[in-house]
Amino acid sequence: MEKLVQDDWVVKVNDEVDQMKHRSIEEIEQHWKKRSIYRLPASITELNKRAYKPQVVSFGPFHHGQPHLQSMEAHKHRAFLIFLKRSNKPVEYFMESLAPLFEDLKSSYDFLDRQQDTDLFLKLLILDGCFMLEILRMSASTDGFYQHHTWNATSSADLYDDDNFVADYAPNDPIFSNHGKLYIMPYIKRDMLMLENQLPMMLLQNLLAIQNDRPTHEEFLNYHMVKFYSPDIPVPNLGECLHLLDVYRKSLLFDHRPHKFRRARPYNSNEEIIRSAMELNEAGIRFKTSRTTSLKDISFHSGVLRLPRIVVDDTTEAMFLNLIAFERFHVGAGNEVTAYVFFMDNIIDNAKDVNLLHLQGIIQNAVGSDKAVAKLFNSLSKDITLDPDSSLDIVHKSVHNYCKKPWNEWRANLIHTYFRSPWAICSVFAAFLLFALTIIQTIYTVVPYYEQDPPLPTPPPPHFRQN
């Protein structure tokens, strides 16, 4: 039996080698390029399980069927029926239209069963995709921003009409109502940013195209996804995106200003890490907000370190961890979010650093104490790898060199040693006062001696005549 098993394994390996001989590098590259939704290993998820696992709703196959997510399935089905009713097309039309995309959709998922049943897989994606589109539609209709774009390929008014949306759902609908928007939608928005909980963008675009009998412009969904999370910011053209998490990441990093090309310098592992915000402040560095909200908009010039504004709330940790995971597993995604988190972890050691950045308008704290924010950033950078050619490398080096200048280093040491606490300040002030009083006393003792009138000359002794 062992000989038979060994022979079967040898035959299988030889077949695979023969197949590889007939595959070009371009084919292998395309194979890896299709993957964009990854199942994370336990070595990552064990550090913070809640950050990577959906709590309310599943999208896609990785978490489908989990008991704690079952209650949302009925709401998905109701949204799916309304989506079909609005499209005025039978469900089999959607199945037939998406069948040619089965292999591409399946290839978007990493570590997915290659023997996945075609019909079951498409049914799952269609159900989840329609639910996600209905969520975006609710946000568009209730926030009223759908009127502000001018794409010719698709009309927002056709897809996101306020009156039609209100008529589709009951006013007391558990999900698609003001009540649902207030109490349920924040949790759904959080789950939609999980890397394991993504839906391929090609699925959502094709569902809309089938519903409206015309192609969907790639920027249309990008626009509404960005507005779903950040209603008040202008939305740039993001280009082709892989899924919602990719859209959100690109929106955080978008910087409309042109950047000069800077040649990457060799990495020096002996360099010190950047100091904390309080220590940088002691060295004479001032903090100001960047001119944009892009996480890449970090600069240092003439003693001023500019950082983008960031709101830290209960979803910040999970959001950053999933963005970091995406950059880690998707080749070519970049490392900008990872570099930002690493940089912020370096300048935030404790609550005092957070308070300093808050006073400068850089951190808006919505989680409570400054200590909690410091703990959050310190935990985000565990087990992450920083690219030595990171865009923040130049900033890091400039800040480091500024702090190493003799005057700045002396100033920092003076403040750190003598002015870090009220008692130390009082002691220094008392010493200076005592020293000043001693000098004044000496002056008052010496000056009168030199200013008094010179003594009168002593008359010569009288001469007596002798008789």
pLDDT tens across 192-250, in order?
A: 999 999 999 999 999 999 999 998 888 999 999 999 999 888 888 999 999 999 999 99
With beta carbons less than 8 A apart as the criterion, state whether 263 and 281 touch. no
Please give the pLDDT value at position 267: 43
What distances in angstroms separate CA 110 from CA 40, 61, 121, one per listed residue? 9, 11, 14
Strand order across the beta sheet in which 299-301 lies: 286-289, 304-307, 299-301
For tokens 């000496």, what's the residue?
A: 442
Strand partners, 287: 305
Closest CA to 243 of 81, 371, 121, 109: 109
Query: For the whole model, what pTM was predicted?
Result: 0.82
Note the pLDDT tens digit of each residue in 123-150: 999 999 999 999 999 988 765 434 444 3
Q: How far apart are CA 283 and CA 416, in angstroms?
A: 9
Residue-range domain boundaries for the chain? 31-243, 277-417, 421-449
Question: How far from 361 is each of 3, 310, 342, CA to CA, in Å?
Answer: 71, 9, 20
* Count of CB atoms situated within 10 Å of the CB of 68: 12
Q: What is the pLDDT along the chain (467 residues), one digit of tens a residue?
A: 555 556 778 887 887 787 777 666 666 666 677 899 999 999 899 889 899 999 999 999 999 999 999 999 999 999 999 999 999 999 999 999 999 999 999 999 988 776 678 899 999 999 999 999 999 999 887 654 344 443 333 444 444 444 555 578 999 999 999 999 999 999 999 999 999 999 999 999 999 999 999 988 889 999 999 999 998 888 889 999 999 999 999 999 987 665 554 444 444 444 567 889 998 988 888 999 999 999 999 999 988 999 999 999 999 999 999 999 999 999 989 899 999 999 999 999 999 999 999 999 999 999 889 999 999 999 998 877 777 777 788 888 888 888 777 544 544 454 555 555 565 556 656 656 666 677 776 776 766 656 665 666 666 666 655 55
φ/ψ of residue 42, rounded to 5: -65, -30
Helices 201-212 and 73-87, interaxial angle, to 10°? 40
H or E segment to which residue 139 belongs: helix 118-143
